[in-house]
A and B are shown apart, each in its own frame.
Chain A
């Protein structure tokens, strides 16, 4: 058995290395069509074309040399344009037109990715099938070979050695993986051209699903889905004695595979649409470019628009009232799905201190307010032009919350701060459902009389950093806005003290009982 695991690990590492190495295996020769369609403005392209002589017909064996020349070319074009705008068109910064005429850096960077993707050729492209399938198979099969032998352990909670292992407790391996994931997110959000070769690599998969070119978001969705599926299998094996965990994990795997990955990538009308992604997690839902796109779609688009609004305003609160926010956070959501599967080995890293709870409450509600204010501004700016600064507000939100918080910190920091950093400290949708869960929802975690032995397993393995034991040892039901209902506290409790339940007839008294107080109440007075 150990042998199989080692072979699996080796295969996985080789597959991963192949994948990483493939980043440097292309030659580049400037693709003018891609450049033209990327720049998408004749006025700009004319200048760029003039400057493109330095790159035309040249084959670069090094990605860096290619990007160096690209940057040079574009910056030449940029200055030429600037010059033209100032001297020939005679525009100044005070003119509105000035800003739409010049070539902006963001544009240059955006086109950089497209050009890099389309200019790649040579070895990797010729051997694309081999690289793709070999690395994919090695990674998946290797991982499964590593995972499957734990079927040999008798079913039951097996957290043996978690705090002895550096991977699980912020040791060297854990930190390395954290850095790797963080770098991945930084590249994905801000330097996607560096991973253009990966996008080239997954093109065949994109083509199998739908016509068109893959972009970095397709790549990301693909990796994301694979991660959830493979690690979901690991999770299901680990908790195979626990039906709640099996059903729940199957659900997150299903929603990720079908709703977040397959449907939007196979049905043209659903392209870029994730039917289960609700505002305010999907913070750009009310941005005019998205609303316009939906309205242009015709009836189906309108339907999607109405669905989005009904989802956020009615469906989310009603289901949360019935089942607590777990229905979304640990059954449906993609971020939650990744946290529950890929992130499961790191759940014990969440901070349980009172201080962390305080920070959590400030931060997550701040993000909620931020998202609401931003959206109100955006919606108002549909009707008036006086709110130009709302573009800055949404840019800040996108940068700080959407990218840095949700991506880099939220996932990159799994091994350091636990698997729910984003869900706990940042997600505005979680905050919104949390308020409902706290104030009026049938959901609670019931504590079984006085059976708690204060061992601490529940708190340790609560990914949301809830000090479950604090409540359990008082015999008090747990009603906390942050609880995502993963049910792990109930699974790891060695005394069967906790049960996730929904009930209505005591809804306002859910968290009041202190069942371990056994001296007659009349003379005690609870504190």
Chain B
């Protein structure tokens, strides 16, 4: 069977990899963007000089041949669904099954001047090349649209000391997703990085110079801002233009059922371009993020090679980085607090770290975690959410979730204290925070408590014995050096065993 995949992004490539794992089908991956799969999420780092294109490729170039995944660098103009044929620029490819993983393209809202030189979005690899091109004599850049790609673009220019004006239509940065405190934190952070953040401001018009390059923009407030570059980052939409006028059912994206099947047999759609006909509760029909693309790729491979599998993305999670502030979310944290949710929010006095937990008003079960500048464990949060754990249970064991590097200050205590204050409670944070405690919590331990206890006793006895022996030895033998060495080794070993025993005690007490 020949499986053709259009698109070599995360979703298409994940599908190809898993199909190869499960089967021997012939696989072709077609893309017009680059020869090899690269990480779109790393585009900013190429421009900033943290990496080159080469470093963003997750697999070495020999990977594809070794795994018999044929890569075709070409553009698909049209698809003959009846004849199962793809029309490329200079060839035709027939397929038995087709996976559409064609991704997104940046939104343009018909602004006057949106096609001038120096005006562009940031999505494809070529966009970084053109950004590089226009950066040469760039004195000022304007970025339109306060989302994740906009702030990345701001960071890109600022890394080269190119001043940036950031036009955000909303009253506060990304406040359609972030609750207001977090959103305000990012406003402050953007300004601390010396980007000129203009909130509640929209783009009205882009003005050309005599060579057809952007010279300035005009905002809805009538302000004219000189610039030689305009970044259009007001979101993306599925890249389905070339599929219009075919029998494929489209809405905003390519419509798929819960098996990721389109209305045409043997044709699937995954990743950014797929629109779920019946999204799960609490999920959006199009979720244009890396992780969902990966999960869809895996699911569709399973459906094709093994048995029909429902796409189940599990509990929502996402992450991002706003300049220096990392952001993670697990579960449901809407920007506006729903009626039946309560929120517990703690923010560091310096205003660059925060923890938010949402829970149900009536049942008290946790529904979501939002982290700013603090890392939490995916699996632990997921388990609490899946088990609808009581907020107080979560709070008492919150240290289990902390994922910050060793030696970092932890703030779980402050959050618990905040909860106690607000609710007149006296919860105490348990000291379960070790890797071992987490393993036990997640049921990933291979040793039981009894095993550890036994080992602890054995090591203690043996350790004491060895140390005693090492003291006795010199009295029994007269050869000096060899006995000193043997004794030294025995003492070392003995102390080692005592330490081991001691650490096992620590482990046990950390599990309580």
| B280 close to A (CB within 8 Å) | no
Pick the contact of A456: B39, B379, B491 (CB < 8 A).
B39
Pick the contact of A451: B328, B445, B484 (CB < 8 A).
B328
Bound together, the chains give a CA A354 to CA B382 distance in angstroms of 34
Pick the contact of B51: A315, A457, A500 (CB < 8 A).
A457
Pick the contact of B492: A314, A505, A516 (CB < 8 A).
A314
Taking CB as reference atom, which chain B residue is nearest A449? Answer: B378
Residues of A within 8 A of B123 (CB): none
> Are B405 and A446 in contact (CB-based, < 8 A)?
no
| B133 close to A (CB within 8 Å) | no
Per-residue CB contact flags for chain B residues 485-512 toward chain A (1 = under 8 Å, else 0) read 1001101110010011001100100000
> Are A160 and B159 in contact (CB-based, < 8 A)?
yes
Query: B55-63, B199-207, B230-238: which lies at the A interface?
Result: B55-63
Residues of B within 8 A of A244 (CB): 405-408
* Those of B358-394 within 8 Å (CB) of chain A: 375, 377-379, 382
Residues of A within 8 A of B492 (CB): 310, 313-315, 318
> Nearest-CB distance from B378 to chain A (Å)?
3
The answer to whether residues A306 and B488 also contact, given A314-B493, A518-B295 and a CB cut-off of 8 A, is yes
> Are B499 and A455 in contact (CB-based, < 8 A)?
no
Per-residue CB contact flags for chain A residues 138-164 toward chain B (1 = under 8 Å, else 0) read 000000000000000011110111111
Bound together, the chains give a CA A164 to CA B309 distance in angstroms of 46
| B224 close to A (CB within 8 Å) | no
Residue from A157, A302, A494, A504 having most chain B Cβ neighbours under 10 A:
A504
Interface residues on A, range: 35 or more
> Are A160 and B407 in contact (CB-based, < 8 A)?
no
> Are A449 and B192 in contact (CB-based, < 8 A)?
no
| A241 close to B (CB within 8 Å) | yes
> Are B319 and A495 in contact (CB-based, < 8 A)?
yes
Residues of A within 8 A of B444 (CB): 506, 509, 513
The answer to whether residues A495 and B50 also contact, given A309-B488, A313-B492, A449-B382 and a CB cut-off of 8 A, is no
Taking CB as reference atom, which chain A residue is nearest B159? Answer: A160
Residues of B within 8 A of A453 (CB): 39, 41-42, 290-291, 319
> Are B489 and A163 in contact (CB-based, < 8 A)?
no
| A469 close to B (CB within 8 Å) | yes
Bound together, the chains give a CA A154 to CA B488 distance in angstroms of 51
> Are A505 and B58 in contact (CB-based, < 8 A)?
no
* Those of A496-527 within 8 Å (CB) of chain B: 496, 499-509, 513, 515-519, 523-524, 527
Residues of A within 8 A of B299 (CB): 519
Bound together, the chains give a CA A516 to CA B291 distance in angstroms of 9
Residues of A within 8 A of B480 (CB): 302
> Are A456 and B42 in contact (CB-based, < 8 A)?
yes
| A277 close to B (CB within 8 Å) | no
The answer to whether residues A499 and B375 also contact, given A154-B324, A318-B499, A455-B41 and a CB cut-off of 8 A, is yes
Residues of A within 8 A of B454 (CB): none
The answer to whether residues A162 and B41 also contact, given A244-B407, A500-B406, A504-B436 and a CB cut-off of 8 A, is no
Pick the contact of B321: A310, A322, A494, A513 (CB < 8 A).
A494
* Those of B460-497 within 8 Å (CB) of chain A: 480-481, 484-485, 488-489, 491-493, 496
Per-residue CB contact flags for chain A residues 421-456 toward chain B (1 = under 8 Å, else 0) read 000000000000000000000100010111101111
Taking CB as reference atom, which chain B residue is nearest A315? Answer: B492
Taking CB as reference atom, which chain B residue is nearest A513? Answer: B444
Bound together, the chains give a CA A48 to CA B407 distance in angstroms of 63
> Are A454 and B298 in contact (CB-based, < 8 A)?
no
| B452 close to A (CB within 8 Å) | yes
Bound together, the chains give a CA A448 to CA B445 distance in angstroms of 17
> Nearest-CB distance from B439 to chain A (Å)?
5
| A490 close to B (CB within 8 Å) | yes
> Are A494 and B326 in contact (CB-based, < 8 A)?
yes
Per-residue CB contact flags for chain B residues 417-450 toward chain A (1 = under 8 Å, else 0) read 0000000000000000011101110001111000
Residues of A within 8 A of B378 (CB): 448-451, 515
Bound together, the chains give a CA A390 to CA B377 distance in angstroms of 55
Residues of A within 8 A of B408 (CB): 243-244
Residues of B within 8 A of A241 (CB): 324
| A135 close to B (CB within 8 Å) | no
| B222 close to A (CB within 8 Å) | no
| A165 close to B (CB within 8 Å) | yes
> Are B302 and A519 in contact (CB-based, < 8 A)?
yes
Bound together, the chains give a CA A30 to CA B323 distance in angstroms of 64
The answer to whether residues A507 and B446 also contact, given A241-B324, A501-B435 and a CB cut-off of 8 A, is yes
| B112 close to A (CB within 8 Å) | no
> Are B56 and A455 in contact (CB-based, < 8 A)?
yes
Bound together, the chains give a CA A456 to CA B43 distance in angstroms of 11
> Are B324 and A160 in contact (CB-based, < 8 A)?
no
Taking CB as reference atom, which chain A residue is nearest B440? Answer: A505
> Nearest-CB distance from B356 to chain A (Å)?
16
The answer to whether residues A519 and B48 also contact, given A243-B407, A495-B321, A496-B319 and a CB cut-off of 8 A, is no
Residues of A within 8 A of B488 (CB): 306-307, 309-310
> Nearest-CB distance from A167 to chain B (Å)?
12
| A491 close to B (CB within 8 Å) | yes
Bound together, the chains give a CA A441 to CA B383 distance in angstroms of 27
Pick the contact of A314: B41, B484, B489 (CB < 8 A).
B489
Residues of B within 8 A of A315 (CB): 492
The answer to whether residues A499 and B50 also contact, given A354-B60, A449-B382 and a CB cut-off of 8 A, is no
| A411 close to B (CB within 8 Å) | no
> Are B159 and A309 in contact (CB-based, < 8 A)?
no
Bound together, the chains give a CA A165 to CA B503 distance in angstroms of 47
Residues of A within 8 A of B56 (CB): 455-456
Taking CB as reference atom, which chain A residue is nearest B192? Answer: A154
> Are A164 and B49 in contact (CB-based, < 8 A)?
yes
Taking CB as reference atom, which chain A residue is nearest B59? Answer: A470
Pick the contact of A455: B45, B291, B481 (CB < 8 A).
B45
Residues of A within 8 A of B326 (CB): 494-496
Taking CB as reference atom, which chain A residue is nearest B57? Answer: A456
| B64 close to A (CB within 8 Å) | no
Pick the contact of A504: B298, B306, B307, B503 (CB < 8 A).
B503
The answer to whether residues A161 and B159 also contact, given A244-B408, A494-B321 and a CB cut-off of 8 A, is yes
| A88 close to B (CB within 8 Å) | no
Residues of B within 8 A of A246 (CB): 407
> Are B403 and A450 in contact (CB-based, < 8 A)?
no
Bound together, the chains give a CA A41 to CA B105 distance in angstroms of 84
* Those of B24-59 within 8 Å (CB) of chain A: 39, 41-42, 45, 48-52, 55-58
The answer to whether residues A161 and B447 also contact, given A302-B481, A315-B492, A515-B379 and a CB cut-off of 8 A, is no
| B213 close to A (CB within 8 Å) | no
Pick the contact of A154: B52, B314, B323, B485 (CB < 8 A).
B323
Taking CB as reference atom, which chain B residue is nearest A523? Answer: B306
> 6 nearest interchain CB pairs?
A449-B378, A503-B435, A156-B324, A314-B492, A496-B375, A455-B42
Task: Please name 20 pairs of A and B residues whose Cβ atoms are closer than 8 Å in the assembled complex, sorted by A.
Answer: A241-B324, A243-B407, A244-B407, A247-B407, A314-B496, A322-B503, A451-B317, A453-B42, A456-B55, A459-B55, A460-B51, A490-B405, A495-B320, A496-B326, A496-B403, A501-B435, A504-B436, A506-B439, A516-B294, A527-B21
Beyond contacts A246-B407, A318-B496, A500-B405: 9 other A-B pairs, Cβ-Cβ < 8 A, are A165-B49, A302-B480, A446-B435, A455-B51, A456-B56, A456-B58, A499-B403, A501-B435, A515-B378
